[in-house]
A and B are shown apart, each in its own frame.
Chain A
Amino acid sequence: NAGVTQTPKFRILKIGQSMTLQCTQDMNHNYMYWYRQDPGMGLKLIYYSVGAGITDKGEVPNGYNVSRSTTEDFPLRLELAAPSQTSVYFCASSGQLLYEQYFGPGTRLTVT
C-alpha cells in the first residue's frame, strides 16, 4: 500500500496559469486535507474533506478550489496562479477526525 501519493513533485507556473495538484490515498480514509507550507512557517490548512462529495474551507482557501468525487482522490485546483501561491503543498488523510494524519511527499510549486 502506497499511502498518500502526490503529483507532480515540482512545478513552475507563470502568473495567471492554472493547474491541478493531484492527491490519492489507498488507505480508505474518509478525511483528506490540503496544506501549504511556506519557508520557516508551519502548515496552514487550505481545504479539507470529511468524505466523498463533502468539502470545506480551511484557514487559507482563497485562490484554490477542491473536489472530492471519490474516497481516494482529492485534487487541488489553482485557477489563476499568483506569486503568493509559491509554496510547498502537502496532502494528508486520516481515518477518523482524532486520528493521526498521513502526509504525502509534497509538491513544490513556484509561480513567477
Chain B
Amino acid sequence: AQSVAQPEDQVNVAEGNPLTVKCTYSVSGNPYLFWYVQYPNRGLQFLLKYITGDNLVKGSYGFEAEFNKSQTSFHLKKPSALVSDSALYFCAVRDDNAGNMLTFGGGTRLMVKP
C-alpha cells in the first residue's frame, strides 16, 4: 500500500531564510508525487509535481522540490521565505501499481515570522 509521511507538524522559519518542508513516501511501483498548499478556510492549491524526468522540480510561487529515489523523499524547498508563505502544506503520492487513489500526508504547518 502507498503511504506518505510528513514528519514535522510545524516548521518555523524567519522571513528571508531558506525553508524546507519534509516528505517521505512508500510505494511498490513508481511514485507520482505532488505538493499542495492550503490557506485558512480555502481548498488546496497545487504547487508542483514529479512524474518523471529531472529530479529537481520547480513550481509556483518560487517553490521547488527534489525527488530522491534512494531516500524515498520529496522535500519542498524555497530559497527565501515570505510571511505570505505561512500556510498548511500537504505532500501526496500515487503509486502507479495501486490504481487511481492519491494518498495525502498529514500536513505541515509553515510559520514564517517577520
Given contacts A42-B90, A43-B90, A100-B34, contact A106 B43 (CB under 8 A): yes
Question: Interface residues of A toward B: which range?
Answer: 20 to 34
Q: Which residues of B contact A97 (CB under 8 A)?
A: 94, 100
Chain B 70-114 interface 0/1 with A at a Cβ cutoff of 8 Å (1 = within): 000000000000000000001000100000111011110000000
Question: Interface residues of B toward A: which range?
Answer: 20 to 34
B46 contact from A31, A43, A100, Cβ within 8 A: A100
Cβ contact within 8 Å between A56 and B105: no
Distance in Å: Cβ of B110 to nearest Cβ of chain A: 15
Cβ contact within 8 Å between A43 and B43: no
A48 contact from B4, B100, B105, Cβ within 8 A: B100
Is B51 an interface residue, CB under 8 A from the partner?
yes
Chain A 79-112 interface 0/1 with B at a Cβ cutoff of 8 Å (1 = within): 0000000000010100001101111111000000
In chain A, positions 1-56 with a C-beta closer than 8 Å to chain B are 4, 31, 33, 40-45, 48, 50, 56
> Complex: how many Å from CA A98 to CA B92?
12
A105 contact from B42, B49, B94, Cβ within 8 A: B42
Distance in Å: Cβ of B79 to nearest Cβ of chain A: 23
> Complex: how many Å from CA A41 to CA B38?
13
> Complex: how many Å from CA A10 to CA B10?
28
Q: Which residues of A contact B36 (CB under 8 A)?
A: 103
Cβ contact within 8 Å between A98 and B90: no
Cβ contact within 8 Å between A40 and B46: no
A42 contact from B34, B42, B107, Cβ within 8 A: B107
| A residues lining the B interface (CB < 8 Å) | 4, 31, 33, 40-45, 48, 50, 56, 58-59, 90, 92, 97-98, 100-106
| B residues lining the A interface (CB < 8 Å) | 4, 32, 34, 36, 41-46, 49, 51, 90, 94, 100-102, 104-107
